Structure 1
């Protein structure tokens, strides 16, 4: 199942309801390192290549990356607890949509929650990353509505 911020409980609940105790289940989360790189680039551009570490300025890219990893670990722990039984966890780095598609290789089903405009059905109910995953996943994809 694809564990994503904000909508992961619906994916976890659907996967828990659809799988049996002998089924192999994988929780997938992806972080895009471009986010931390953008913060680092802004810092380097504003303060010079090395920044001003001698004045106590910390590179915000490092802070953003650490915060992302901490949030990811917390999210995956919560998803594992909600799932209620053993599941493998996969942490990927790169463009989120491409990493999720790559993680699906060899899997039978990807359970994902919609992430777009939940007030109306149709194409707008999927964000760009979800649309890419639905279009390119090498397995079946089950989309569930997020809980409100």
Structure 2
């Protein structure tokens, strides 16, 4: 019986912007803010374009509202990413080692801080800290696979 395989790889385009703030902690935090902020803004842009296509028209008012939403979402997700990246780096510096535990601790701190900043109850803060730790740890493990 004949046997064949297909082999290949896919590489996504990479765009990198480096802003030197003079401090590695700030550099990483700003980098995380910008990269994830752009992802958040792009998500809103895609949603707004979809809604305009579905309705069949766009107005100046809709465009202004879309831009406002893009900025708001970009700042929100960028802030969360900046805090996470900064926390992970800070934990790495304190522990003196680079492993998945830094992601777990950084994710827990970030999840808790975001929850506290939105005024949630103590139980919700704890749950959000656990969720942040789980997501960050999973992302770290997936990142190590590649």
User: Does TM, normalized by the shorter one, top 0.5?
Assistant: no
TM-score by structure 1 length?
0.35
- More strand as a share of residues: 1
TM-score by structure 2 length?
0.36
Larger RCO (CA under 8 A, 6+ residues apart): 1
- More helix as a share of residues: 2
